[in-house]
Amino acid sequence: MSQPAFSPKEYDQKIQSVLPYCQEFYRQVVDTVKVLDYPSLSWLDLGCGTGKMGEAAFSAFAPKRFVFWDQSPEMIAIAKSRFANANAEFVTASLLDLHCREEFNVITAIEVNHYLPPEERRKAIANVYQALQPGGVFFTFENFAPNSRTGQQLALKRWGAYQVAQGRSAQQVKGHLARYDKDYFPISLSAHLQLLQDCGFPTAELLWLSYLQVGLFGIK
């Protein structure tokens, strides 16, 4: 799996200069979980990074169980330092190593699955489906691929302009945009939804979209 563009220490500081409205990812998840109104929350955050999803979840709810899961020991160390909570657990492992059965009613994967090639992505989402309790929800926020070459070029130019406006140099922006379909592998919106359905989700819906980022959810 490809590594993120930033080191763990600089991730939270710099990610907002690259991803427009990235704080909205977490707000959208929290708002939807509030509406779903589970009696208690058993939550797994895949690719947890420094713990931004956990921060939002603990601020809004009192999860009975919250599992921070990341393949990076450095990211897990940062998350551990932020959450001295008896209900918090920490796992250092790949997404592909998830083999739980009906343990969680919320699973999140924020900017994670697009690093996986097609078959590994399918396996990861199938594992998520197995790990969810009936009625549980899976949220994924990822980069997506526009339907046309023209749409892709326009979106990348717009994304680049956003990064320049945030103070990134032309060289930094060029390097970041060059990662598209090389370091991560975006798929179309229809392919995202079809993949959720193919992995067993009877409900698969678009939640949020801006620039080249999309949020989707599936309910088991």
Secondary structure (H, E, C), the chain: CCCCCCCHHHHHHHHCCCCCCHHHHHHHHHHHHHHHCCCCCEEEEECCCCCHHHHHHHHHCCCCEEEEEECCHHHHHHHHHHCCCCCEEEEECCHHHCCCCCCEEEEEEECCHHHCCHHHHHHHHHHHHHHEEEEEEEEEEEEECCCCHHHHHHHHHHHHHHHHHCCCCHHHHHHHHCCECCCECCECHHHHHHHHHHCCCCEEEEEEEECCEEEEEEEC
pLDDT interval class at 2 (50, 70, 90): very low
Does the pLDDT value for residue 5 go beyond 50? no
Mean pLDDT for 24-42 is 97
User: pTM of the prediction?
Assistant: 0.91
* Mean pLDDT on 186-209: 97
Q: Among 6-15, 82-91, 142-151, 167-176, name the one with the lowest average pLDDT.
A: 6-15
